[in-house]
Structure 1
Amino acid sequence: MTGIVLRSGHLPDAQRLGDWRRLARDSVLPTELRTDRPEQFTGTLRCYRLGLITGLGVTCGALTADRPAALIAAADPRCHQLLVPRRGLTSLELDGRYAECGPGTLLLGTTSRPSTLRTHPDPGGTASVTGLLVPRELVPLPEHATDGLLATALPADQGPGALLAQLVHRLDEDADHYRAVHADRLETVVLDLFRSFLAHHLGSGTAPTAESRRRTLYLRARELVLRDLHDPALTPDHIAAALHISTRYLYRLFQEHQRLPVRAWIRAERLERCARALADPAEHATPLNELALRWGFTHPAAFTRAFREAYGLPPYAYRRAHLPPYDDPYDSRHETPHQSPHNSR
């Protein structure tokens, strides 16, 4: 389940912090990293996904991660940020508030406001912190509901905080052992516990409503669809089964939150990705049948009809209209999905 693992100890001195900086700038949460002695920097970064939730684990020396207003304006995932120190101290400065805490406490931040996060090593020279990025849309609360909890040391030795801290630690330790099917179920567990944690500190009025639970189910359904969009076997029945709900209820969720029914939305998303590929110069020599199959279309004639209906042109004509002229021995004008012997029925 681990998506990214980056270790710097084996790299040349001049490269050690550079790789981290590049990854930090291009990550789901763009940040600017700095340290007093970059040539001596060592660390390990782990990143994994639980559906819409991102998990992070960092072990390093002294490190500062700035998230200035310019980076927020360029890319803001709009997430609650949960930090769980494991070793050394972790400090967070946000909205003029400052908190520094170690094991046994939690820190809550937000990706939508300027902040500075620092790791402070223990006497052995190491700091370690795990955390989560939880999309705000999964925890429907008023815009400033959590302001009083930001950059504040919150107890993790009892109640929901203790359970949440233990779970985050364990997820980080065992990320390599989980498969995608586990991630979907664990997302539900983490989300329920995170909501309980917030409700514990904010009051019972923040408990998830029926509307917020439906919204969460809909977002999880979208995530499952987009993850498996390439799979021809993807159907509303499969999505509903993965979410442990009925297919009828899945259709109701999409009716409530999406202008298209489930099956039509799946087809529209597949066609959109085919259209992007057809307009991509790097794909100019890729056979149409191959592009169609890449996004779950197994019947060439059906793909051509669906694409023409959605975009007003057959695939080969759409490609010609969106790509500059080029000299290529493979002339896509004559390659229609009907003519490939490998995809004939």
Structure 2
Amino acid sequence: MNNASPASAARPDRAPPPALTTTNLECFLQASEAHLPPLEVVPQSPLFHARLRGRGLHRSHLIKLTSSPVRVTRTPRLVGLSGGDHTFKLVWQLHGEAKMEQGGRSIRLSPGKMTVYRLSTPYRLQTFGDYRALMLSIDLAEVPEWRRLAEGCQGQALPWDAGAHAALAVLRSQLTWPSGPPVAQVEDAALELAFGSLWRHQRQQLHCAPLPSERITKARRVILQRIADPTLAPEDLASALNVSMRGLYDEFRRYGTLPPAAFIRELRLEQCYLALLDTAQRRCSITHIALAHGFLDSAHFAKVFRERYGVSPGELRKREACVPH
């Protein structure tokens, strides 16, 4: 379930508004217009009930929802009624279960899991039992670093880590405190925690995400173990996998993976990208990060990095520094 356009979050609500509690579907749909875009909602049990509390923050919109089982559909027609191509929804599953389908992917959400998805893509959500979730929508058009993290993690059921837990606690407070610290400061802290959690997941995924074959998985492991070695080449992968060069290229081609040399470079660039966003490495120079990941020429590194991500390493660092921490 989604919120209204990000513009509704431009002016933070001065205090959390009262929650809506209803057993009437039409009443729920009418009252939720301030928080949700057009949706098709079909109750899946004879007795419908829902409780909704939403609050516009400084640049995002926060919703806590409880409901009986429902099927929610955001059709292509309904997507066309609202913009927000770079608006994403982060969802913390609190109680009950849900099945989410979007872009050919299907995931199951249970308590202790979170997900992120793009609001401009049609989807279907089926809830089960006493469904409770906290949802945060934010337009990431002007925060490309966070947008890329959201894109890398979307459509996955992610376990909460300490950062996700902390972000949840901070956001929950914004639905109950009549007054307190400035909304923008609290919101920035929550966003930093939430996207830090996505960053850690993506870093782990880079090492552990399943690949189409055992050999390609082993090739990735070899590359990551020797990421700082500038001499690492496809010949080394073939030797480590105990296959000929032709067998190596055939393996990568068979599964539609990047050719071995490009695969090595892609992993180097991905590791550099994450290192540049890592708050623990802010004191490391860009040259140091490039050398630590097998790039000998900083000018060449800057060139291929810009070609891959559309931004130079220095610009990426400056943009991240402008995001409140």
Corresponding letter in the other structure for 2:186: L
2:157 paired residue number: 153
Pairwise CA distance, 1:211: 2.1
2:247 paired residue number: none
Structure-2 change in CA distance of 1:26 and 1:69 (3 Å): farther
2:101 paired residue number: 93
CA distance in 1, matches of 2:146, 2:163: 25
Q: Deviations over 1:27-68 (max 9, x none)?
A: 35332211134x621111011122111111111110222111
Structure-2 change in CA distance of 1:43 and 1:93 (3 Å): same
CA distance in 1, matches of 2:109, 2:175: 25
CA distance in 2, matches of 1:150, 1:105: 13
1:113 paired residue number: 121
CA contact (8 A) 2:100 2:125 kept: yes
Alignment of 1:60-75 (within 5 A): 60-75=67-82
1:320 paired residue number: none
C-alpha root-mean-square deviation of aligned residues, in Å?
2.8
Give the greater-gyration-radius structure (CA). 1
Alignment of 1:78-227 (within 5 A): 78-121=86-129, 126-137=130-141, 139-141=143-145, 146-156=150-160, 158=161, 162-169=162-169, 171-172=171-172, 175-179=175-179, 181-203=181-203, 205-206=273-274, 207=277, 209-214=317-322, 216=323
CA contact (8 A) 2:88 2:140 kept: yes
CA contact (8 A) 2:145 2:320 kept: no
1:8 paired residue number: 22
CA distance in 2, matches of 1:70, 1:191: 31
Partner of 2:38, secondary structure, is coil
Structure-2 change in CA distance of 1:71 and 1:108 (3 Å): same
CA contact (8 A) 1:90 1:129 kept: no
TM-score (norm 1): 0.52
Pairwise CA distance, 1:174: 5.4
CA distance in 1, matches of 2:185, 2:179: 10
Partner of 2:182, secondary structure, is helix
CA distance in 1, matches of 2:179, 2:185: 10
Gaps of 5+ in 2: 1-14, 204-270, 278-315
CA contact (8 A) 1:53 1:133 kept: yes
1:304 paired residue number: none
CA distance in 2, matches of 1:169, 1:68: 32
Given the alignment of the two structures, is residue 42 of structure 1 paired with residue 49 of structure 2, yes or no? yes
CA distance in 2, matches of 1:142, 1:26: 25
CA contact (8 A) 2:105 2:155 kept: yes
CA distance in 2, matches of 1:97, 1:117: 12
CA distance in 2, matches of 1:209, 1:91: 37
Structure-2 change in CA distance of 1:4 and 1:142 (3 Å): same
CA contact (8 A) 2:167 2:194 kept: no
More displaced, 136-145 or 187-196? 136-145
Matched length: 202
CA distance in 2, matches of 1:64, 1:139: 32
Structure-2 change in CA distance of 1:71 and 1:130 (3 Å): same
CA contact (8 A) 1:83 1:130 kept: yes
Pairwise CA distance, 1:135: 1.6
- Counting aligned pairs with the same residue, the percent is 18
CA contact (8 A) 2:96 2:127 kept: yes
CA distance in 1, matches of 2:51, 2:88: 23
Corresponding letter in the other structure for 1:195: F
Corresponding letter in the other structure for 1:185: Q
Corresponding letter in the other structure for 1:76: G
Structure-2 change in CA distance of 1:174 and 1:148 (3 Å): closer
TM-score (norm 2): 0.55
Structure-2 change in CA distance of 1:142 and 1:213 (3 Å): closer
Pairwise CA distance, 1:175: 1.7
CA contact (8 A) 2:163 2:194 kept: no
